[in-house]
Structure 1
Amino acid sequence: MRKSVEAEEYHSKDFEWEELKNLVESDPSLSHHVRFRHDHESQGHDLGEDRDSFAQVDPQAWQNFHARHSSGKFFKERRYLLKEFPELLPHGENSKLLEVGCGNGSTVLPILRGCQNLTVYACDCSTEALVRTKENIDHSTVTSDNFHSFCCDFSRFEFPKWLACDHCRENVLDKQIGSHSDASCPSHELSSVQPTEEHRSADVSSKSPSTGDQCCIGGVDFVTLIFTLSAVPQKRMPRAIKECYSVLKPGGLLLFRDYGLYDMTMLRFEPEKCVGFREYMRSDGTLSYFFCLDTVKRLFTGAGFIEVELEYCCVKSVNRRKGKMMNRVWVHGKFQKPK
């Protein structure tokens, strides 16, 4: 686990999660967040069991979200990532990373800036998000030579085969360079899966143009899953994690960070926004799930991962405009694919 000095530097232990839990569960005004949990316990449900949510998920919700926030001002670059996940820094020339759910590039940018020798592949279910990512990279000081993006909803479809095959991947990129296509544009070869059934097309990049079905065992060294899994419907989470497992090399690491149980964001939801167990739907149709450590452990070890690190990050954040102190809770995790 991280050293106490590092924890203090990163402000990950401003308060104890158990103390927050006791405060929330004893506050009558927050009972609607706790009642759902007690209902499930009384009915004999496993707290980590995956079930359908009550609401219908709009597949266009995130597409619309990124279109509304096209200015990019909605997100801040996650500069803490290389401090939280220093494993990304000492890597070889041929190391590869897959960022799942890249959004507008707030995770990709600090990685590209701090890891010049790392090749980064990024995907999102929203083509709007990929456009925003490309724009933000172009407007930054980082080079996009080692960055490639593609559209894929990993909770519904498989990742393209070339992602886990070194030979196929090289052929796909060579073909793009030869045709002067933009590897970062989701409308070109690397866009193997579209966000909706209606727009799905043949996976022209899943096979090597020169070798057909021939494939080698390769994969990526790292997968980052940063505030992405919480937006996936509960019933799809196990499948989504197995997809991440499938493209990692043996010994590869999945780096995880997402919303924790009783985070301030969760406590702001009104009762009618609760659509499932610890799952809420925003007014724009996007979902947000809040994880406890047991659920995260069960999901990842159930997919075959080995737990390396798993803990709550509890941070006191100040809203200077409103003069309010906010208790933020995130789950920090590192999981390894067996060697």
Structure 2
Amino acid sequence: MTATLAAAVEVVPSPDLELAEKTSALTVQETIPETGTETTTGQIPPHRSHDPQYNMKRTDPFMFGSRYLDEGDDVFEFNAWDHVETDDAYKEYSEQQFAMQRASPVSDFDKNRFNSDPARFWNLFYKNNTANFFKNRKWLQQEFPVLHTVTAEDAGPKIVLEVGAGAGNTAFPILAHNKNPKLRLHACDFSKKAVEVMRSHAEYNTELMQADVWDVASEELPPGVEENTVDVVLMIFIFSALSPLQWERAVRNIHRVLKPGGEVCFRDYGRGDLAQVRFKKGRYLEENFYIRGDGTRVYFFEKEELARIWSGVFGEETSDSEDKDGTSEATPDPDSQEPSAIKAESPLFDIEELGVDRRMLVNRAKKLKMYRCWMQGRFRKK
């Protein structure tokens, strides 16, 4: 399943694109079985074979692959394994890293600087990374079957809205596979530079799509998009770029543009991902929320947290005002990026699917392991 894994890693439109290719001291050494002690079977299952003809693509959006790591397996037989829980050594190291990160947070000056104008740093990022745009994300239609539906020749008038840090990374491949003459694509990004790159691309066709600057957490709707008109919203590694204080407005904006029964296709970072564990001192903004070296922000989600947010519960409900250290605060911190608990008057979305995609990447030459964790979901407007 190395091809599937490569596609999953490739999709990340962020400064962590090359992370899976690097090794680090945090990875855990693995003992290699002695010669003659390996487990043998009469027949190798197709999904475990090195034969390229068996490198099967995923068909179920939440299976995440079929290369399971069983007891007795040689972990370095393949470049990656699916559904792998982190081992005790990695968990212990991760918690040590998180404690170190909390003890050395971003300064108040820098916190204000990064939070006051996040688009500025994304503009700089895309100015330096235009070559990474518009790759063919083949996994999208495998993971989100609704994209097959809206791009079918006889699907009729459909609107797909992509909201993203790097919108266009997924919109252009949809155009490449589209057979629906009545499909309209809107790609919106809060980075002006990202939109400029989209509009200057050879495949940008104003008869089929529209690219605009739009902050999903703003008070306005995207240019040219009206309420209750969108069939599908793509949010691929964008929600993590928002401050927790922006989640509610973003979710409500997506709810506004979707038709009743419209669908959100979602993928983003999960807590404990290698990208989070690797952060050093001076990068911690709030719990699970960080500043990368280039000034862009990134949040790492828990599954239950996402279920609450997309159901319409913003912020953790607690019985008192205790903070994470067990001490109470008389008044909320005005600079905090953590939202107060607010529940929508009625549920906003049904959680159709919400899964945790855990992978273990392997450096076979150096005998190192690296753990990745992503969240993937489909949310339907009530």
Fold-level match, TM-score > 0.5?
yes
Q: CA shift at 1:276, angstroms?
A: 0.5
Change (3 A) 1:67 1:95: same
1:108 aligns with 2:199: no
| Structure (1 or 2) with the larger CA radius of gyration | 2
| Percent sequence identity over aligned pairs | 32
Secondary structure of the 1:258 match is strand
For 1:261-280, what aligned pairs fall within 5 Å after superposition? Answer: 261-280=271-290
1:134 maps to which of 199, 202, 225: 199
Q: CA shift at 1:65, angstroms?
A: 1.2
TM-score by length of structure 1 reads 0.69
1:20 aligns with 2:93: no
Opposite residue 244 of structure 2, the aligned amino acid is Q
Q: CA shift at 1:9, angstroms?
A: 5.6
**Aligned equivalents of 1:74, 1:106: Cα separation in 2:** 6
| Alpha-carbon contact 1:25-1:34 (below 8 Å) kept | no
1:33 aligns with 2:98: yes
1:63 maps to which of 112, 117, 123: 123
Instruction: Please name the residue that 2:21 is paired with.
Output: none
Instruction: Please name the residue that 1:316 is paired with.
Output: 360
Compare 61-70 and 108-117 and name the one that shifted more.
Answer: 108-117
Q: Which runs of 5+ in 1 are unaligned?
A: 38-51, 166-217
Compare 285-294 and 60-69 and name the one that shifted more.
Answer: 60-69
Change (3 A) 1:153 1:220: same
**Aligned equivalents of 1:144, 1:162: Cα separation in 2:** 13
For 1:187-206, what aligned pairs fall within 5 Å after superposition? Answer: none
1:79 aligns with 2:138: yes
Secondary structure of the 1:243 match is helix
Instruction: Please name the residue that 2:310 is paired with.
Output: 300
**Aligned equivalents of 2:199, 2:368: Cα separation in 1:** 35
Opposite residue 7 of structure 1, the aligned amino acid is F
Secondary structure of the 1:26 match is helix
Change (3 A) 1:21 1:326: closer
Instruction: Please name the residue that 2:339 is paired with.
Output: none
Instruction: Please name the residue that 1:191 is paired with.
Output: none
**Aligned equivalents of 1:10, 1:108: Cα separation in 2:** 29
Compare 105-114 and 251-260 and name the one that shifted more.
Answer: 105-114
TM-score by length of structure 2 reads 0.62
Change (3 A) 1:20 1:100: same
Instruction: Please name the residue that 1:121 is paired with.
Output: 186
Q: CA shift at 1:248, angstroms?
A: 0.2
| Alpha-carbon contact 1:119-1:147 (below 8 Å) kept | yes
| Alpha-carbon contact 1:260-1:291 (below 8 Å) kept | yes
Listed one character per residue, the Cα deviations across residues 36-91 of structure 1 (whole Å, up to 9, x for unaligned) are: 79xxxxxxxxxxxxxx9982223311111111223x23785422111100111123
**Aligned equivalents of 2:361, 2:197: Cα separation in 1:** 27
**Aligned equivalents of 2:205, 2:369: Cα separation in 1:** 38
Instruction: Please name the residue that 2:19 is paired with.
Output: none
**Aligned equivalents of 1:157, 1:226: Cα separation in 2:** 21
| Alpha-carbon contact 1:122-1:148 (below 8 Å) kept | yes
Opposite residue 111 of structure 1, the aligned amino acid is I
Instruction: Please name the residue that 1:334 is paired with.
Output: 378
1:281 aligns with 2:291: yes
Secondary structure of the 1:222 match is strand
1:223 maps to which of 194, 208, 233: 233
**Aligned equivalents of 2:98, 2:359: Cα separation in 1:** 20
Change (3 A) 1:5 1:291: closer
**Aligned equivalents of 2:122, 2:238: Cα separation in 1:** 11
**Aligned equivalents of 1:116, 1:321: Cα separation in 2:** 44
Listed one character per residue, the Cα deviations across residues 258-307 of structure 1 (whole Å, up to 9, x for unaligned) are: 01111111111113211111001012211000011011111100161110
| Alpha-carbon contact 2:212-2:222 (below 8 Å) kept | no
| Alpha-carbon contact 2:273-2:373 (below 8 Å) kept | yes
Higher helix share: 1
Q: CA shift at 1:102, angstroms?
A: 5.4
Q: Which runs of 5+ in 2 are unaligned?
A: 1-58, 69-79, 103-107, 313-343
Compare 316-325 and 94-103 and name the one that shifted more.
Answer: 316-325
| Alpha-carbon contact 2:185-2:208 (below 8 Å) kept | yes
1:145 maps to which of 177, 182, 207: 207
Q: CA RMSD in A?
A: 3.2
**Aligned equivalents of 2:232, 2:124: Cα separation in 1:** 29
1:93 maps to which of 119, 139, 156: 156
Compare 254-263 and 84-93 and name the one that shifted more.
Answer: 84-93
Q: CA shift at 1:223, angstroms?
A: 0.5
| Alpha-carbon contact 1:97-1:221 (below 8 Å) kept | yes
Opposite residue 87 of structure 1, the aligned amino acid is V
Instruction: Please name the residue that 2:64 is paired with.
Output: 7
Secondary structure of the 2:282 match is helix
Opposite residue 63 of structure 1, the aligned amino acid is N
Opposite residue 239 of structure 1, the aligned amino acid is R
Secondary structure of the 1:272 match is coil
Q: CA shift at 1:332, angstroms?
A: 0.5
Secondary structure of the 1:257 match is strand
Listed one character per residue, the Cα deviations across residues 186-219 of structure 1 (whole Å, up to 9, x for unaligned) are: xxxxxxxxxxxxxxxxxxxxxxxxxxxxxxxx41
Change (3 A) 1:249 1:75: closer
